[in-house]
Structure 1
Amino acid sequence: MNVFPKLLLSLPLLWVGGVSADPANSLSWHDAVHRLQQGSDQLAGARAQIAQRQAQAEGIAQAGGPIVSVYGAAYSYKASLDLDLDPLKQGLGNAINLLPPGIAGLLPPLPPLPSNYTIERRNSSHTALVNAVWPIYLGGATDALRGMAAAQGAEAQADLQHSEEEALAVLAQRYFQTQMARRAAALREAAAAGVAEHDAAVDKMLKAGVASQLERLQARAALQDAQYQARKARSDAELIAIALGRTLKLDGTPAPSTPLAVSSQPLPPLQDFITSALTLHPGLAKVAAKKAQAEQLKAGSKALNKPHVFAFGQRSLTHNGDWLAGIGVRVNLWDSLDHAALERSHQSLITQAEAADAQARNDITLLVERQWRSAEQARSQYLSLAAQDELGRELLRLRQVGLKQGTSTALDLIDAELNLVKLRTERAQVAYEHVMALVGLLQACGQIESLGDYLARADLRLE
């Protein structure tokens, strides 16, 4: 992605006022980074995810510990039982008939019995119990649960770092692009002002008879084109500055004060950056967190099939302190899950994470090398263009002298001035490309926050 690090034109440039910006909105790179970190909605969302994961980990930190609960109830009841007395009546009659006649005649007659009788009972009562369960061994299920929460927290942290680096990269692009656009507008405005002076001079020369109508038309065309280019450059600079202001939620047009800069000294060795990238890149941390989650998921699945041992106890609070205590064991003999298939699934997730890590390391190494080479090539090109800048300035000086001596025309002078503007714009663009490559390099290494340090150490500045 495009990014903007240190660069700058060190040789003199045509003077011109910068693109209009409120001095009160002067904004250093350090201040811009601070505002982004405080006001970015994207980063706020990523931080909220971190907070959620931390709260989740805290919530299950004591999972697997004792559980104590109180149970209480107050109740009333009514119980009814219907008794069929016909069999009893029949049995008594049969028993009397079996007695000797003399004895049976002496017995008083049996009272009549109803065919049925209903027994009813009513009562009200209450009960209260204290229950306690303490898991002793759960096969590692609670450790897997806590490990999963920790891995999810690590993933959220990696996501936050990635979001921060993405946001800083976009900020750097807009911040230094604003600097670049303001410089381009300044050069174009300076060129337009110079061409306007030469256009007026050619007009006087035409009236004096020392310039042709063709030269007059050429000067006028050059002026109109220079003015158009200046207006376009100013509009582009204002639009880019507006984008920067909205990124940082600023009122007004920001005026970046940290200059583009480039170092005359080479970057540190490529291997240093590769080593840092393979240690600090947030993508690798995210892959590692995904692998850890897969491993904890596998461990938790295995724990379901292991014996579980727990202690339990109960005490009545209403019936003379009755109590119960013991140790229980739960062994899963069979369930409907195919645990072998689940284990293969979890192992596939681990293998997938390992493959992603290997691929990511290869891609990151290639990315770092490409960005390092791009930054070094742009830096070298910027330094080599110093000779062309010197040539352009010398040509401009000769055209100025030649105009005074009559050996050059005003159009030659205009061409020399526009050529120098073009050279300096191109050189600034190369420096800008160096900065972009440097930002990409630091982002790939997980060190984009050190961009300000690189800018501060650079010795060639476009103030």
Structure 2
Amino acid sequence: MILFPTRRRSRRAGAALLCLAAATAVPARAEPLAFDAALQQLQQRSDHLAASRYAVESAQLRRDAMQRLGGPVVNLSGAAYTYNANLDVDLNPLNRLLPGVLSQLPAPLAGSLAQMPHLPSSYTLNRSKSDTTASVSAVWPLYLGGATQAARGLLDAQTQEAGADADKTRDEVTTVLVQRYFGAQLAERAAALREAALSTIEQHDAAAQKMLDAGVIARVERLQARTALEEARRNARKARDDAELAATALTRTLQAGDRVTPTSPLFVLNGPVEPLPYFIDTALARHPGLAKVAAKKEQATQLHAAQEALRKPQVFAFGQRQLKTGRDADWVAGVGVRWTLWDSIDRNTLAESSNRQIEQAERTGAQARSDIALLVEKRWLALEQARRAYLAQAPSLELADEVLKLRTAGLKAGTSTTLDLIDAQVNQAKAQTERAQAAHDYVKALADLLEACGLSEDFGKYMARADALRVE
């Protein structure tokens, strides 16, 4: 807030005026930009908004990827292989049984076989082969107890949470833009008032020198004017630096190449905005924080449903077949059932845990609704206070204008002093600056109220309604 000390007819009147002075330093290049255009540019260039959009898109893509969750899964497998296998066969038992077998044969046949060489004690079999194999298999879950629906519901809730975060970011970024855009307007207007006051100080300094040369004023009065001028120059540089910093903040917020010069003036609505119940009802329906709490509750609900699904049997169909022609291709098909009868995890306790999460989300939502309603009421009252403060300053500004006219005429007629005129000029600048500050407070309060209601995108509509009370 820009403050001015109370002016008195004293030697400190000139020093008080210095708070209004400024030295100008206009950049060579500037980009005039209305607020609507600035908001559009911010939506296109803001890294915060882009990050929130990517978060929503990522969540939505995850949900899309799980659209067919629970459907059939078909796998194709193949292999190329080669092997070499050796098998040692022990022939000693056969050698021991062979004499007994020969004794039971007819004598001629047994005699001819008896002259055959004995079998070796062991024999090694060797087999090697290279081949390929391929098969196709499929599994189709028929019943999973609702697990797939719970998984998709969880992803839907996560997408809703990302959307709520994106809405919150959008509202916050819009409020920041309002503060920096109209803050730059206020700083520039304050600098302009200081520039006008500095010009007046310079005129009085020159007049004081002439009056000193003519012997009309004392040297101490001349030194007071000189001191006031030097202090005005210092304050003028500071005022211009503040205006430049505000313009730089706005330019960087918009990520513009050239310095941005705001052209949409400060404004105030002549009448009050919609009544408080309208904004409370809107906030309870649209506030991103409530949408996020609702998404958290839905996630907890779906997690509970998924845990309950694990208690139920799972039914699935399956099949597999070799990829080869002919009747000798191997294949299998059937229906399977899986039901966990005992698990090392305590499912009952786990279900109670998920129920507590649901209750937590419900209580959090109730508290959030109460807090948001209170916040909206607080900001609505702040907006009304700012509007009334702005309108209440009209008589003060009119009085300051009239006093300045009287002091100017009185100086020419010899009924007023130079300090009287300086006092009147300072009071006029003070009234103008305080009026601009009140308009800035109103604009900021309006942006805060709309953010609390999830209506930040409607700021331009309220600005369009204030044509009759634009603060130039």
Normalised by the length of structure 2, the TM-score is 0.89
What secondary structure does 2:125 align onto?
strand
Q: Does 1:460 align with 2:469?
A: yes
Q: Determine the structure 1 residue equivalent to 2:445.
A: 437
1:326 is matched with 334
1:414 CA displacement:
0.8
Alignment partners' CA distance in 2, 1:339 and 1:367: 41
Instruction: Go from structure 1 to structure 2 and tell me whether the alpha carbon gap of 1:452 and 1:106 turns closer, same or farther (over 3 Å shift).
Output: closer
Q: CA deviation at 1:23?
A: 7.1
CA shift, 1:123, in A, is 3.7
How far apart, in 2, do the equivalents of 1:198 and 1:407 lie? 17
Give the aligned partner of residue 8 of structure 1.
Answer: none
How far apart are residue 93 of structure 1 and its match? 3.3
The Cα shift of 1:280 comes to 0.9
Q: Structure 1 residues 184, 115: closer, same or farther in 2, change over 3 A?
A: same
Structure 1 counterpart SS, 2:259: coil
Distance (Å, rounded) in 2 between the aligned partners of 1:214 and 1:167: 54
2-structure distance, mates of 1:107, 1:405: 161
Q: Please tell me whether residue 281 in structure 1 is matched to residue 287 in structure 2.
A: yes
Residue from 381, 387, 390 that aligns with 1:373: 381
Letter in 1 for 2:158: Q
Does residue 349 of structure 2 align to residue 341 of structure 1? yes
Q: Distance in 2 between matches of 1:266 and 1:281?
A: 22
User: What letter matches 1:140 in structure 2?
Assistant: G
| Cα distance in 1 for residues equivalent to 2:112 and 2:241 | 133
Q: Alpha-carbon deviations, 1:403-437, whole Å to 9, x = none?
A: 11212111111111112111221221122111111
Structure 1 residues not aligned, in runs of 5+: 3-13
How many residue pairs get matched? Answer: 451
Could you tell me how far 1:152 is from its partner in structure 2? Answer: 0.9
| 1:111 aligned onto 2:117 | yes
CA distance in 2, matches of 1:99, 1:185: 132
Match of 1:157 among 145, 160, 163: 163
Greater mean deviation of Cα atoms: 16-25 or 177-186: 16-25
Residue equivalent to 2:187: 181
Map of 2:269 onto structure 1: 263
After the TM superposition, list the runs of 4 or more consecutive aligned residues in structure 1 that deviate by more than 6 angstroms: 16-19, 97-107
Report the equivalent of 1:10: none
Cα offsets for 1:91-111 (capped at 9, x unmatched): 233556799999988974453
Shift of 1:150: 0.9
Q: 1:239 Cα deviation (Å)?
A: 0.9
Relative distance call for 1:17 and 1:337 in structure 2 (3 A) is: same
- Which of 71, 90, 110 aligns to 2:77? It is 71
Output one character per residue of 1:371-416: Cα deviation in whole Å (capped at 9) or x when no partner: 1111110110111111111121122122112211212111111111
* TM-score (norm. length: structure 1): 0.91
CA contact (8 A) 1:199 1:220 kept: yes
Residue of 51, 60, 81 corresponding to 1:45: 51
99-108 vs 190-199, which moves further: 99-108
> Which residue in the other structure is 1:384 paired with?
392
What's 1:26 paired with?
32
Aligned to 2:17: none
- Give the corresponding residue for 2:209: 203
Deviation per residue, 1:348-382 (Å, 9 max, x gap): 22112112111111111111111111111011011
Task: Give the Å deviation of 1:88.
Answer: 1.8
CA contact (8 A) 1:218 1:411 kept: no
Q: State the one-letter code of the partner of 1:460.
A: L
Which is further off, 428-437 or 175-184?
Answer: 428-437
Q: Which residue of 2 aligns with 1:11?
A: none
**Which residue identity is paired with 1:286?**
K
Equivalent of 1:212, from 208, 213, 218?
A: 218
Secondary structure (helix, strand or coil) at the match of 2:182 reads: helix
Q: Report the more deviating stretch, 223-232 or 422-431.
A: 223-232
Is 1:228 the counterpart of 2:234 in the alignment? yes
In structure 2, the residue matched to 1:423 is: 431
1:404 aligns with 2:394: no
Larger CA deviation: 167-176 vs 212-221: 212-221
Residues 101-136 of structure 1 deviation map (CA, whole Å, 9 limit, x = unaligned): 999889744531211122333344443322122111
Change in CA separation of 1:220 and 1:258 when aligned onto 2, cut-off 3 Å = same
| Aligned counterparts of 1:29 and 1:103: Cα–Cα separation in 2 | 119
Corresponding position of 2:145: 139
Give the residue type in structure 1 aligned to 2:190.
Answer: A
Q: Secondary structure at the match of 1:309?
A: strand
Q: Distance in 1 between matches of 2:243 and 2:130?
A: 87
* Residue 356, structure 1, aligned to residue 333, structure 2: no
Q: Counterparts of 2:103 and 2:333 in 1: how far apart (Å)?
A: 59
Distance 1:412 1:225, change over 3 A: farther
Q: Secondary structure at the match of 1:250?
A: coil
Unaligned runs of 5+ in 2: 2-19
Q: Which amino acid aligns with 1:297?
A: L
Check the 8 A contact 1:19/1:237 in 2, yes or no.
Answer: no
Aligned residue number for residue 9 of structure 1: none
Higher relative contact order (CA 8 A, sep 6+): 1
How much is the aligned-residue C-alpha RMSD, in angstroms? Answer: 2.6
Shift of 1:226: 3.0
CA deviation after TM superposition for structure 1 residue 254, in Å? 1.2
Closer/same/farther in 2, CA of residues 73 and 122 from structure 1, 3 Å limit = same
Answer yes or no: is the 8 Å Cα contact 1:29–1:258 preserved in 2: yes
Letter in 2 for 1:404: K
Distance 1:125 1:200, change over 3 A: closer
Q: Is the 8 A contact 1:141 1:303 kept in 2?
A: yes
